[in-house]
Every structure is written in C-alpha cells, then in structure tokens.
Amino acid sequence: MPSSYAYDATATSTAPPAVVWRLLLDARTWPVWSAVDDLDLDRSTGLDPDGRDPVGAVRAFRTGRTVTGERVTGLVEERQLTYEDAFNRAIHDYRAVVDLAPAPGGGTLIHWHGTYATRWGMGWLMRRVMQRVMQRMADGLAAYAESR
C-alpha cells in the first residue's frame, strides 16, 4: 500500500512578484536556478516558445540520469502555479502548489508545497529528499530572481 507525504518550503526574495513569476513560468530557466540539471525538450510537450508555459504543458526535467515530468494544472497570474506528476518513477500522485505573495516592505514571499505518495518502504527516504530538494528550489528561485 502506498504511503502519502507532504513537504512545505518557503523563501523570500527582494524581487517583485512579476520577476519571480516569469522565472517560475518559464521551464527553460529552471536549470539555472533550481535543483534540476536540464530541461528535456524531447520529453516535454506544449511549452511556449516565449516562456509562458500554459496549463497542460508537460515540463520534463533531468536530474542526473533521472527524467521526471510535471504537467501544469493551474495558473493564476503572478500568484500561483500548480502542477502534478506526468511521469515519475520515484513518486506518484504528486501535486504541488507554488504561491507567490507580496512581502511586507517589498519583494515576494514564495511558498512551495505539495503532496505525493511512494511505494511502501520508500517514504523515509523520499520525505527527507523531497523536503531538502524543494527548499533548494524555493531558495534558488528567490536568489536568482534578485539577480535579475
């Protein structure tokens, strides 16, 4: 029986929400600021050439030798991106939300949270890995947006 888990990562950027949003929406920027190595264009579908990936786009990211796919399921301009797993060998039933909100005094609060399930016996490892990786994602997005 699969086990369900969650992660919750937060970061703050001095960049305004519009800058953070553009980076989050454009899968081509993710290898620059995130924990992924590459965007796999051969396994991605529906990407926008101008970096405004729409609902339904599948963004395939390679990390090491592993490629995972994430389907964009919702967009609220400059506020929220939601996605789910399209293909992933390690986890399933993955749903993630990235909320952006104006920070008091300027900048952007980034709240990246999600739920997923794993095979029995994998939860202890994936819980630790997912929390660490997703915090790196939020921190990387915040820092890179500040440099833009």
Sorted by where each starts, the structural domains of the chain and their CATH numbers stand as: 3-147 (3.30.530.20)
Q: What is the pLDDT of residues 45-100, one digit of tens each?
A: 999 999 999 999 999 999 999 999 999 999 999 999 999 999 988 888 999 999 99
pLDDT interval class at 141 (50, 70, 90): very high
Secondary structure of residue 17 in the 3-state scheme: helix
Query: CB under 8 Å to 130, separation ≥6 — which residues?
Result: 5, 7, 91, 114, 116
CA distance 148 to 23: 10
CB-count burial class (<10 Å; 0-12, 13-18, 19+) for 68: buried
Do 119 and 39 form a contact (C-beta atoms < 8 A)?
no
pLDDT exceeds cutoff 90 at 42: yes
User: Which residue in 16, 23, 96 sits closest to 53, CA to CA?
Assistant: 23
- Quote the pTM value: 0.94
Q: What is the residue type of 103?
A: A
